[in-house]
């Protein structure tokens, strides 16, 4: 059968590129692996040339796959399942890239692209390490490309192709018709929660971080395979530093996206997907420090191997957790069930790298050089190793809790998550912050091998005193107000705050005193300052986060759902119900729900909230701004809420809609009843009465601005309700070139609509009165004040810059390239986190 309107050529080209890339990845893996095992110089060079040609062919084909998918989605070829599921006609062009990596296939492709880019760099820079290192990268490409292969092998589909046709994937009577495309008017489109600036840049950065972790892993393999057990640290360390900077930035970009687009009420919720990406980063940080120890003293080489291996293994494990559907019930943004065949391939990917590499490591562990002399407790390397161990143990704790659904699946248990998820993590990790803060403050003042106690005490005395003074001043003038878990936990937060502040001051002082202001050598200290600032920002913004949407101001308590961040039943007293056009007190502001409007996407509605802050005595306007939180209303009045935020230097006002009524509930069937009134006359309605005060010609007031030459009349009406409240209304009738126009007025608090219908012969006016039978227009809002949240983003920027500085120094780049790289990284991060919306 010939199907009308199908564009089959792009799909055929795309599928050809997938097959070409897959075959080329096999050939490059064979070529590099054989070269790494060949002693003959000429034969080795021949295999490397073959492997390079194969890898470059694979890179070309992968780029062809991406371009083809982009072409299909941008042209809305809904005959392809991928375009139908992820693109739509109303999707803004800037989100076309996001719709590509929304799906499983596109995100695997993104990962493959980054491996391709990194592989091309390694071919140029890795020198005699190229063969063993690139054999690992090429093998990873083989598995990633297998995920998007989409071919059948003995009746089993291998991978999921982004070029499958919709008619082959969905059953339905229209797909047996030649003109089935005429019935497909639009695609499903990008998930509304992903239509955000951050989802265009967050996944590429995060996947670059994921992809880059394979390089220290590959160098560790190369070190064992070539018996050059300690030499791999030198080329691997700069890559590990870059990887830590990129992956950490990618993770926090996800936090920024969640903060701006999800109703978490924050930037971190201990969601399993967040945890799965955090764990490899923590292990990578541990590995960075053990690599630095080895470079300086020869200690911790075995630990460096282990951490480099486990970093990438846990990247693959996080892929298993987030892509197989096993977290579906516990995470708000994991992929749904991928299918048994895909699940098996992901497990094979994990097993193919984890099992052989760990076996290889354990078989050679005794051959890996280790210093026989134990580190002294007064040496820098001892405390650096303790810090690495703390990071590693924290990672194991987080992944153990995150993996509960895996235990349940394997053993058939029904272990439930803790009632208070956030607290269950924080109670363990607050002590971790204390230890890491103190260690990062003091350790740099120690010298390698040994350090006199008097030297250390002299160096840390002033930073210790300053940190204590600052923490005390904060406790007095800006105390921590997190009282939920009692005095003991509050005290632990203060100690953690002291440790973080101590680390900021001590590392800043070390740049000046310990390094004599030499910024080239200050990468580690800058990274420590940034990390410590990040911790300070987290502690203050999370502990002193204040809910200002108190329902006691109007006494309306509506039952709302679970808090998206704590997973607990949300407190209705912390959700303020706003009736349309009725100003309501909320914290230091007076908030008015003015109106709502439809978004471009079906079911999406934006709510205009006017915030005003006035002087309590003079009533002078001090501040005025508008926020537009929105919701995505679905069937059965379920909804997904997207927040809006007013950002200041020292705080954020964070708002989201916790309840809104659907359009169906707004249907109104009542009609206007006409009353004839003269000035001073009274008319009654069910909840009170109204008085016609005056008829005003061409009114000029806060609501209307008519010129003297206009032909407009306004009925000035005062309403008196049974609860002794007074309301003003002013419906208008206007005569212009287009005829008679009625500008109705609405008293939302009374669910009352007024219309100026006209004038009678007896000089009375006709006033239309409609008491609506629809649900009164209202929303329920939750609002926080996040204090000093910009410290979080500033700390992240400094940490990333410090890691890049260290990588540049370790890689021995020229001053010009180093300056350009730092300028670019700093400017990009500064813009994205502090100015982007």
623-645 pLDDT, tens digit each = 999 999 988 875 545 667 888 99
d(CA 504, CA 383): 18
d(CA 678, CA 759): 10
30-47 pLDDT, tens digit each = 999 999 999 999 999 999
Domain ranges across the chain:
1-195, 551-662+779-784, 673-776
Q: Tell how far CA 237 is from the center of its chain.
A: 28
214-218, 284-288, 578-582: which range is least confident on average?
578-582
Residue 336 pLDDT greater than 60, yes or no: no
CB atoms within 10 A of CB 439: 20
827 pLDDT band (50/70/90 cuts)? low
CA-nearest of 690, 454, 668, 653 to 548 is 653
The H or E element that residue 608 is part of is: strand 604-614
746 pLDDT band (50/70/90 cuts)? confident
129 pLDDT band (50/70/90 cuts)? very high
d(CA 306, CA 217): 9
Q: What pLDDT shows up at residue 754?
A: 92
17-26, 219-228, 575-584, 586-595: which range is least confident on average?
575-584
- Give the helix ranges, DSSP H, for 510-625: 523-543
Report the percentage of the chain scoring pLDDT > 70: 91
| β-bridge partners, 158 | 151
Could you say which DSSP state residue 417 is in? P
Could you say which DSSP state residue 364 is in? T
Kindly list the distances between the CA atom of residue 243 and the CA atoms of 171, 287, 679, in Å, as whole numbers in the listed order: 44, 12, 77
Mean pLDDT within 385-398: 97
CB atoms within 10 A of CB 560: 17
The three state secondary structure string of 195-262 is CCHHHHHHHHHHHHHHHHCHHHHHHHHHHHHCCCCCCCHHHHHHHHHHHHHHHHHHHHHHHHHHHHHC
d(CA 225, CA 802): 32
Q: C-alpha angle with apex 273: 195 to 435, nearest 5 degrees?
A: 120
Residue 809 pLDDT greater than 70, yes or no: yes
Q: What pLDDT shows up at residue 393?
A: 97
782-797 pLDDT, tens digit each = 999 999 999 999 999 9
3-state secondary structure of 4: coil
d(CA 817, CA 806): 14
Mean pLDDT within 318-343: 72
| β-bridge partners, 606 | 597, 630
Residue 521 pLDDT greater than 70, yes or no: yes
Q: What pLDDT shows up at residue 334?
A: 55
This prediction has a pTM of: 0.86
Q: What pLDDT shows up at residue 154?
A: 80
Mean pLDDT within 427-456: 94
CB of 109 within 8 A of CB of 64?
no
CB atoms within 10 A of CB 511: 20
12 pLDDT band (50/70/90 cuts)? very high
CB of 47 within 8 A of CB of 27?
no
Q: What pLDDT shows up at residue 835?
A: 47
Q: What pLDDT shows up at residue 751?
A: 83
CA-nearest of 102, 127, 101, 124 to 112 is 101
CB of 243 within 8 A of CB of 212?
yes
| β-bridge partners, 785 | 546, 653
Q: What pLDDT shows up at residue 598?
A: 82
Work out the mean pLDDT of the chain and round it to a whole number.
88
79 pLDDT band (50/70/90 cuts)? very high
3-state secondary structure of 379: coil
180-193 pLDDT, tens digit each = 999 998 998 888 77
d(CA 539, CA 537): 6
d(CA 149, CA 137): 18
105-128 pLDDT, tens digit each = 999 999 999 999 999 999 999 999
Residue 514 pLDDT greater than 80, yes or no: no
d(CA 56, CA 47): 14
Could you say which DSSP state residue 80 is in? B
CA-nearest of 420, 430, 650, 642 to 544 is 650
609 pLDDT band (50/70/90 cuts)? very high
Q: For tokens 């607050």, what's the residue?
A: 430
DSSP string, 737-751: TTEEEEE-EEEGGGT
Q: What pLDDT shows up at residue 707?
A: 85
341 or 538, greater pLDDT? 538
d(CA 628, CA 264): 17
Mean pLDDT within 680-692: 94
498-502, 576-580, 788-792: which range is least confident on average?
576-580
708 pLDDT band (50/70/90 cuts)? confident
CB of 16 within 8 A of CB of 168?
no
Give the range with max mean pLDDT: 228-242, 245-259, 580-594: 228-242
561 pLDDT band (50/70/90 cuts)? low
* Token output for 194: 């992903």
Mean pLDDT within 278-291: 97
CB of 162 within 8 A of CB of 109?
yes
837 pLDDT band (50/70/90 cuts)? very low
* Token output for 233: 């640290």
Q: What pLDDT shows up at residue 823?
A: 62
18 pLDDT band (50/70/90 cuts)? very high
CB of 239 within 8 A of CB of 214?
no
């Amino acid at each position: 059968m010939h199907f009308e309107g199908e564009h089959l050529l792009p799909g055929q080209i795309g599928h050809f590129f997938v097959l070409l890339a897959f075959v080329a990845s096999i050939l490059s893996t064979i070529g590099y692996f054989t070269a790494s095992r060949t002693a003959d110089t000429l034969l080795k060079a021949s295999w490397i040339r073959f492997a390079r040609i194969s890898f470059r062919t694979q890179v070309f084909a992968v780029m062809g796959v991406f371009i083809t998918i982009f072409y299909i989605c941008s042209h809305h070829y809904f005959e392809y399942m991928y375009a139908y599921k992820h693109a739509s006609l109303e999707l803004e062009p800037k989100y076309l890239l996001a719709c590509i990596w929304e799906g499983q296939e596109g995100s695997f492709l993104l990962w493959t692209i980054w491996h391709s880019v990194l592989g091309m760099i390694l071919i140029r820079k890795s020198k005699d390490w190229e063969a063993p290192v690139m054999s690992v990268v090429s093998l990873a490409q083989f598995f990633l490309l297998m995920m998007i292969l989409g071919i059948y092998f003995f009746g089993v589909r291998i991978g999921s192709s982004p070029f499958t046709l919709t008619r082959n994937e969905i059953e339905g009577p229209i797909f047996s018709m030649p003109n089935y495309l005429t019935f497909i008017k639009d695609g499903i489109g990008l998930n509304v929660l992903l239509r955000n600036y951050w989802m265009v840049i967050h996944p590429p950065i995060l996947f670059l971080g994921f992809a880059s972790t394979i390089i220290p892993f590959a160098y560790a393999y190369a070190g064992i395979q070539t018996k050059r057990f300690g030499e791999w640290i030198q080329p691997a360390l700069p890559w590990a530093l870059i990887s830590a900077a990129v992956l950490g930035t990618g993770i926090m970009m996800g936090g920024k996206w969640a903060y701006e687009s999800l109703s978490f009420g924050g930037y971190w919720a201990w969601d399993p997907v967040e945890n799965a990406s955090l764990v490899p980063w923590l292990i990578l940080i541990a590995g960075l420090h053990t690599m630095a120890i080895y470079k300086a003293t020869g200690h911790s080489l075995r630990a460096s191997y282990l951490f480099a291996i486990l970093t990438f293994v846990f990247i693959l494990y996080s892929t298993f957790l987030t892509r197989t559907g096993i977290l579906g019930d516990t995470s708000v943004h994991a992929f749904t069930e991928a299918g048994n065949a895909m699940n098996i391939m992901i497990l094979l990917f994990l097993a193919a790298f984890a099992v052989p590499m760990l076996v290889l490591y354990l078989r050679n562990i005794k051959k890996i050089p280790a210093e026989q002399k134990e580190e002294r407790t007064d040496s820098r390397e001892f405390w650096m190793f303790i810090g690495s161990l703390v990071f590693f143990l924290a990672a194991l704790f987080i992944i153990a809790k995150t993996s509960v659904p895996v235990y349940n699946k394997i053993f058939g248990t029904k272990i439930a998550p803790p009632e208070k998820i956030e607290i269950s993590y924080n109670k363990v990790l607050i002590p971790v912050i204390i230890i890491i803060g103190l260690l990062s403050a003091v350790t740099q003042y120690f010298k390698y091998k040994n350090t006199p106690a008097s030297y250390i005490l002299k160096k840390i005395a002033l930073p210790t005193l300053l940190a204590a003074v600052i923490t005390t001043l904060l406790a007095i003038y800006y105390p921590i107000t997190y009282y939920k878990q009692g005095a003991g936990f509050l005290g632990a937060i203060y100690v953690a705050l002291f440790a973080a502040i101590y680390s900021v001051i001590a590392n800043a002082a070390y740049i000046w005193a310990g390094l004599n202001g030499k910024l080239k050598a200050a990468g580690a200290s800058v990274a420590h300052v940034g990390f410590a600032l990040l911790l300070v920002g987290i502690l203050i913004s999370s502990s002193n986060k204040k809910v200002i949407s108190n329902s006691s101001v109007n006494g309306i308590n509506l039952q709302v759902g679970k808090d998206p961040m704590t997973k607990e039943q949300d407190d209705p007293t912390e959700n303020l119900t706003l009736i349309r056009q009725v100003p309501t007190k909320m914290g230091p502001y007076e908030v008015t729900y003015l109106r709502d409007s439809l978004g471009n996407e079906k079911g999406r509605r934006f709510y205009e909230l006017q915030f005003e802050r006035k002087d309590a005595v003079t009533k002078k306007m001090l501040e005025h701004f508008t926020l537009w939180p929105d919701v995505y209303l679905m069937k059965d009045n379920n909804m997904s809420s997207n927040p809006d935020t007013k950002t200041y230097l020292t705080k954020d006002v964070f708002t989201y809609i916790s309840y809104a009524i659907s359009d169906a509930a707004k249907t109104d069937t009542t009609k206007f009843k006409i009353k004839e009134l003269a000035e001073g006359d009274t008319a009654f309605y069910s909840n009170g009465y109204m008085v016609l005060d005056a008829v005003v010609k061409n009114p000029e007031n806060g609501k209307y601005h008519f010129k003297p030459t206009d032909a407009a009349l306004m009925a000035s009406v005062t309403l008196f309700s049974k609860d002794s409240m007074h309301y003003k209304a002013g419906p208008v009738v206007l005569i212009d070139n287009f005829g008679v126009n009625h500008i109705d007025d609405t008293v939302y608090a009374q669910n009352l609509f007024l219309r100026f219908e006209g004038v009678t012969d007896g000089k009375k006016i006709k006033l239309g009165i409609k008491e609506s039978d629809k649900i009164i227009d209202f929303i329920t809002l939750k609002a926080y004040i996040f204090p000093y949240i910009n410290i979080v983003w500033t700390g992240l920027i400094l940490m990333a810059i410090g890691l890049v500085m260290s990588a540049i120094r370790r890689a021995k780049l020229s001053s010009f390239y180093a300056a350009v790289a730092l300028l670019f990284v700093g400017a990009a991060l500064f813009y994205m986190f502090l100015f982007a919306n």
